[in-house]
Structure 1
């Protein structure tokens, strides 16, 4: 009997009726002769509601207590789905992340999975149960509850599939696959039949919300067969695999965007060999993820360094810099917010020169200001004003020949 891991996101379990629909789909998979492990997110917007409540109490909720709070959302989902399955005559058991044997590093709000002991899940499967696991959460070796960061349920599902040696991991979401751009912004976006791990990893890292970056990374490392499909229909989804042929000869596979970006400039730093090392080691030690980096020098003995961070990290980053100002020897630090990052991704860029030039020309023709640029072998990213982001995405999608006539179908939470 084969084993399938199925993950359902917040929209898919947003109401009791949708939870019952998920239960029917799971039972169909079980009746087809498969063992099933299900990973679920919190219902609908419940995580946002919990975050809002915490921020009504304090502007800076303690990270440990946020993990304690947010993990309750997934526990509601697993219990209700287990009840729905049992009401239909299917044996099922719900498990929190720690009950499922998920151990994480000792970092709150964005921990990484260290190991998984699948014994408890295997015993439950052997007894004929569908196992339902709360996504997004785990526990440290000393018993502290942790979360994996927003979207971490994808990572949970793929990691469980790897630990259980599952035959397939299906990620169910509110769109029926991976599209060339967010269909909410580009109605003419096309669905990809297949996409490579590397391209999907770039798209996910750069803001494509259909998969969590760590889930893609985990799938590649552990050879987990991965399919993204809709929980609202039975259409074929998108298969994420090691290598794929460029679909229809496209150089660019997709356009990604991230609307939560800020630029921080650290000015008048000493022009020394270890300046960059000291600055970014300081930020790394505080778990600040830095993306695009630009260094500019106007004086012989000083330099300015600009870099982008998540908009959620601006205040904390500036606090860290201020605290370490004497150690880093800079003049001042400023932040520019209300920015976005728009990226083109495609393996075809490796063998096709002029892709970056076409991107810059497209944005210039659309009157879009480019504030920062970052490149790799298969992507080019530009930081632009937030108000110009959607225009940039649509313009690039058209420029690189990704438009189709048919409109994508997207299911919104009710």
Structure 2
């Protein structure tokens, strides 16, 4: 008897009717002879509602209390889905992250999983139960409830699949696979039947919302067989695994975008050998993720450094810099907001020179201003004005030959 881990996102369980539909799909999997562990997110936009409620009370909610608040969303979903399965005659039990044996770092709002004790899950499976686990959450070694960050339910599912040595992990979402671009922006985007771990990791890291980056990272590390499918249809999804062998004709596999980017410039820093290390070590200690970095000489003894952060991290980043201004010895720091990042990703870029030049030419012809650039072996990213993002994505998609003949399908709302 094989073991399957299935994950259903917020859209998939957004209403009672959709929860009941998920229950029928899970039951069908059980009736096909499989053991099943299900990971679910909070219903629909309920997490956003909880965040909004907190911000009506305070502009800077305490991270511990935010974790206490946000974990309630998934607990609603697991209880309702368990009831729906029981109503269909299937034995099932719900478990929070900590009841499922998930231990995390002692960090609130964006903790990483440190270990999983699968004993509670295996015990329930041995009794013929479907186990419904709350995604996105765990418990630290000192007994504090923690969350894995937005989108962390994907990571929960893959980590459980690895710990249980499941035969496969299925991620159910509102699109029927991984597309060459967001179908909501590029109607001619097409579904990829197969994509490599490395390409998917780049796409997820660069803004493709279909999978959480840490989930892909975990799947690659533990060689978890991963499939992305639609909750609302029966179409074949996208398989994610070792090196891609089905799309080798493509130099670029997909276009990703991130519409919440800000550029921070730290000016008049001393031109010392350790200036950069001190700056980014300080930001790292505050758990601020930095992406694109550009350094430019200003005068003989000073330098300017610009870097990109999430748009949600602007105020906190500036606060941290101001707090450490004296020890970092810089003149001033400014932020430029309302920016986005567009990226091209593809394993074929390794052996095909001139891809970056083609991207820059495409953006120039579309009248898109490039503010920052970052590259790796299989991706090129450009930070651009947010207002030009959609035009840039569509132009790049066409330029690299990714357009399909038929419009892409998007399910749900």
Q: TM-score, normalised on structure 2? A: 0.99
Which position in structure 2 is the counterpart of 1:102?
102
Residues 1:23 and 2:34 aligned together: no
SS at 2:412 equivalent: coil
CA distance in 2, matches of 1:109, 1:397: 35
CA distance in 1, matches of 2:44, 2:333: 38
CA distance in 1, matches of 2:390, 2:397: 11
Structure 1 segments unaligned to the other structure (5+ residues): none
SS at 2:178 equivalent: coil
Which position in structure 2 is the counterpart of 1:364?
364
Which position in structure 2 is the counterpart of 1:306?
306
Which position in structure 1 is the counterpart of 2:45?
45
Which position in structure 2 is the counterpart of 1:80?
80
Tell me the CA shift for residue 247 of structure 1: 1.1
Deviations 1:96-123 (A, max 9, x none): 0000000000000000000000000100
Which position in structure 2 is the counterpart of 1:279?
279
SS at 1:249 equivalent: coil
Tell me the CA shift for residue 246 of structure 1: 5.5
Which position in structure 1 is the counterpart of 2:296?
296
Stretches of 4+ moved more than 6 A in 1?
none
Which position in structure 1 is the counterpart of 2:330?
330
Tell me the CA shift for residue 242 of structure 1: 1.0
SS at 1:158 equivalent: helix
Which position in structure 2 is the counterpart of 1:218?
218
Asked if 2 retains the 8 angstrom alpha-carbon contact of 1:246 and 1:348, the reply is no
Q: 1:294 to 1:4 in 2, by over 3 A?
A: same
Structure 2 segments unaligned to the other structure (5+ residues): none
Which position in structure 2 is the counterpart of 1:144?
144
Tell me the CA shift for residue 298 of structure 1: 2.1
Asked if 1 retains the 8 angstrom alpha-carbon contact of 2:193 and 2:246, the reply is no
Q: TM-score, normalised on structure 1? A: 0.99
CA distance in 2, matches of 1:204, 1:248: 20
SS at 1:333 equivalent: strand
Work out the number of aligned pairs and report it: 413
Tell me the CA shift for residue 401 of structure 1: 0.3
Deviations 1:154-206 (A, max 9, x none): 00000000000000000000000000000000000000000000000000000
Asked if 1 retains the 8 angstrom alpha-carbon contact of 2:248 and 2:348, the reply is no
Deviations 1:333-352 (A, max 9, x none): 00000000000000000000
SS at 1:407 equivalent: coil
Asked if 1 retains the 8 angstrom alpha-carbon contact of 2:168 and 2:225, the reply is yes
Tell me the CA shift for residue 211 of structure 1: 0.3
CA distance in 2, matches of 1:50, 1:61: 12
CA distance in 1, matches of 2:396, 2:127: 52
Residues 1:170 and 2:170 aligned together: yes
SS at 1:184 equivalent: coil
